[in-house]
A and B are shown apart, each in its own frame.
Chain A
Amino acid sequence: MKRDFESILDECLQQLHSGQADVETCLARYPEQAAALRPLLQTASRLRAAPVPRPSPAAKAAGRQQLLLAVARRRQAQAQAPFASLRSRGQELAASLSWLLSPPKPARALVWAVAILLLLVVSGAGVVGVAARSSLDSPLYPVRLVSEQVQLFLTIDAEAKARLQVNLAQQHLAEIETLRQQGRLDSGVAGRAEALLADQERALQQAKAISGVSADVQEEIQAVLEAVRNERQTVQQVMLLTPTPRPTLPPKDKPTVTLTPSEVAKPLPSSTPKPAQPTATLPPVEPTPTPPWAPFGVPTVVTRPTGQADVTPTSIPPATLPPTPPPSAATATPPFAPPTMAPTVSPPTPLPPTATPLPPTATPVPANPVASNLRMSSSAGGGAVGSFPAGTGMAYAVFDYSNFTGQKLGVRVHDAQGNVIFNSGSQTYQGSGTQSFAVAAPGGAFPAGRYLTVLYGGEFAGTITSTFWQVEAGPPTPTPTPTPTPRAHGGGLWIWWVWSC
């Protein structure tokens, strides 16, 4: 009987849940159990109608970012399984040699001598020499990493070891930058590059901790460490912007390393000096919007294409930009128009060429896409403004993009409560240029406080970079204060958390 009652109860609950019946209908169907069923069904109804706690958008976004990066790493680790296996074997080899550093004993000294002799023989055979010139997308690259490990192992002096580590990191850095500029950082290579940069970051941190290293070298390590971190974040951006490859695993019988004459003869990519290119960072936090999107007004699109740049706005009518008052014109009256938001487009202004001419190749490949220099400005395409005067009614979200081949980007602006006050929606980008979106204040003027602008993109709209800005309290000040674009960094999660609390 008891089991029967529980089945009846569950049946009634199903009907309540699906909307097929209400409490009274269920009770009418089972008059004998009605007295017992009534309080239970009423409790269930109250439970269903009760509100539930919801996560913060920042936490949700951070978890999403973490998951998607983990997926990208996992996918690339799978694609480079032979590579990883060789590299780990190299690291095991280096680790197994470490016992030779213990106090010299005749037997160990002999083994050490034989090992060095063998290494010289192998070097003499030229394999290591060829591998030393291999690039990240070459099958010989693991051999190069092994030889670097051995080289570091054989360097006893702390100062020399630290310098060597710095030199190796600089070489890897330059090569990855070159690959990126040449558009050779596809999904698989980007994963290797990211893993390699992570290794270099760890190695540099260890080198920094070594006692007996001079202050000069310490400074050098710090500088390279920063560069490695920045490049790693840029590569992570490439990982997010690069479309997910469909699984095309190589056949299992495929040799892991194949040395063909063409690969041996493959020249090292020319190390052309890299143009100064601001790198975008990947903050761990992406405050996701609360759908449905509620942008205030229609975005004003301002595009400054260079060459083949071709921004494809979605659902944005052709428009012209209203004359933007110069910052000095700001007075007690809000300098910007209220958000009537008639979409306007400013005349295109060509950007100076940023790409270094590449050596001619048989099939020209576009460089990897980079979106950078996200900033808020008082004018379309203008410089960064970190703090806007009270009463500001409109600001511009501006970013630069280069080497895009149809990837999507979008901009969101959040207020201090995490609400989305502007969302441009995803748009497809081609080539290089600068994009500006006019962000109108809801109600005519931005309330004083902090705001967050997020540049998102890729096939699953991950955060590419973000920047904080603020609107001052009190009477309007005549000119906004230009500040460097705040760079998102690893502490962004905490900043967001403290700020949102």
Chain B
Amino acid sequence: MSEKASPGQDDKFSHALLSAGVAGENLSDGELIRRAQAYDSAAFAEIYDCHYEGVYTYVYCRVNNTHVAEDLAAEAFLRALEGIGSFQFRGVPIAAWLYRIAGNLVNDYFRVQARQDVVPLQDELLPTASNPSDIVERQFTYRRLQESLHELTDEQRQVVLLRFVQGLDIKDIAYVMGKPEGAIKSLQHRALSTMGRYLGKDSDEAGL
């Protein structure tokens, strides 16, 4: 994921990740926000194209359901359209703002569902690779990471997704989750410890 993605992965996705929270992006974000506030379709198209996949991935990793993730990701952009008029750009990247909206939608979804709906991994979403052994290895890695994510609390999982999948920095994650930066650092530490223990245990069992 992110810039370490395999060569076969989507350039657009890499762009989405690189655009999230990277220094220097804020200036263009401010201009994009100004254009979007005038309901400039091209600006919204740009925002959507840059950030849809990141938002989708974030939502999917939390709800673990393709169709729900697609619905919520699309809804996040419609909410962004509703709120763009009152949005005040203060240096927070657009990505962080979108993840905050998406995160609220996921929380609402969970409230309605009353429980976290953990469904079996959907194989069609597994990444593809040209080499069969690569496919097996990637599937194995993906499954183990998915399992280790389920060992985390929802807040820890959010931090992991935003930090390591979406590439946001601590400050932006604090904005998305509405928590102080110190709390985010603690969540990050605990999440990595838990996942490390789980994955380490797995490696020991597998003799890796």
Contacts and interface: CB of A to CB of B under 8 A. Distances in A.
Interface of A: 3, 5-7, 9-10, 13-14, 17, 19, 39-40, 42-44, 46-56, 59-60, 62-64, 66-68, 70-72, 74-75, 78, 244, 246-247, 290-292, 459-461, 501
Interface stretch (B42-50, B86-94, B110-118): B42-50
Q: Please name the 10 residue pairs, one residue from A and one from B, whose CB atoms are nearest each other, closest first.
A: A63-B74, A75-B39, A51-B127, A460-B45, A247-B38, A59-B70, A47-B164, A6-B185, A53-B125, A43-B196
Given A47-B164, A48-B164, A9 B189 contact: yes
A51 B45 contact: no
Most B Cβ at <10 Å: residue of A51, A53, A64, A75: A53
30 contacts: A3-B182, A3-B185, A17-B167, A40-B196, A43-B199, A46-B141, A47-B195, A48-B4, A50-B1, A51-B1, A51-B142, A52-B13, A55-B60, A55-B70, A55-B73, A56-B70, A60-B52, A62-B74, A63-B73, A64-B45, A64-B49, A64-B52, A66-B74, A67-B48, A70-B78, A246-B38, A247-B38, A459-B41, A460-B41, A460-B45
B193 A40 contact: yes
A46 B199 contact: yes
B158 interface: no
Contacts of A48: 1-2, 4, 164
Contacts of B160: 47
Given A9-B185, A68-B44, A54 B142 contact: no
A39 B48 contact: no
Contacts of A460: 41-42, 45
A244 B38 CA distance: 10
Contacts of A70: 78, 81
Contact of B141 (A13, A51, A67, A244): A51
B141 A50 contact: yes
Q: Name the prevailing secondary structure of the B interface residues.
A: helix
B179 interface: no
Given A42-B196, A55-B53, 19 more contacts: A3-B185, A6-B185, A9-B189, A13-B163, A19-B3, A39-B193, A46-B199, A47-B164, A51-B1, A51-B142, A52-B165, A54-B125, A55-B57, A62-B74, A63-B52, A75-B39, A246-B38, A291-B12, A460-B42
Contacts of B182: 3, 6
Nearest to B45: A460
A448 B1 CA distance: 34
Contacts of B138: 51
Contacts of B39: 71, 74-75, 78, 247
B99 interface: no
B1 A63 contact: no
B192 interface: yes
Contacts of A46: 141, 145, 199
A235 to B, nearest CB: 16
Contacts, number: 159
Contact of A71 (B13, B44, B164): B44
Contacts of B124: 501
A277 B185 CA distance: 63
B170 interface: yes
Interface in B48-83: 48-49, 52-53, 56-57, 60-61, 66, 69-70, 73-74, 77-78, 81
A39 B78 CA distance: 41
A67 B186 contact: no
A68 B45 contact: yes
Nearest to A14: B169
B11 interface: yes
Interface residues of B, number: 61
A59 B195 CA distance: 31
B48 A64 contact: yes
A13 B185 CA distance: 11
B19 interface: no
Interface string B1-44: 11111100111110000000000000000000000001111101
A459 B42 contact: yes
A387 B199 CA distance: 52
A53 B52 contact: no
Contact of B170 (A10, A51, A75): A10
Nearest to A458: B41
A5 B182 CA distance: 11
A67 B101 CA distance: 15
A219 to B, nearest CB: 37
Nearest to A239: B41
Interface in B153-202: 160, 163-165, 167, 169-170, 182, 185-186, 188-189, 192-193, 195-196, 199-200
Contacts of B136: none
Given A14-B169, A292-B11, A460-B41, A66 B70 contact: no
A52 B69 CA distance: 14
Contacts of A64: 45, 48-49, 52
B81 to A, nearest CB: 6
Contacts of B9: 51
A47 B161 CA distance: 9
Contacts of B165: 47, 52
B30 to A, nearest CB: 17
Nearest to B60: A53
A67 B77 CA distance: 7
A464 to B, nearest CB: 15
Contact of B41 (A3, A72, A290): A72
Nearest to A66: B74
Contact of B142 (A10, A44, A50): A50
A367 B48 CA distance: 31
A290 B12 CA distance: 8
Most B Cβ at <10 Å: residue of A19, A52, A460: A52
A290 B13 CA distance: 10
Given A47-B145, A52-B57, A67-B44, A40 B192 contact: yes
Contacts of A43: 192, 195-196, 199
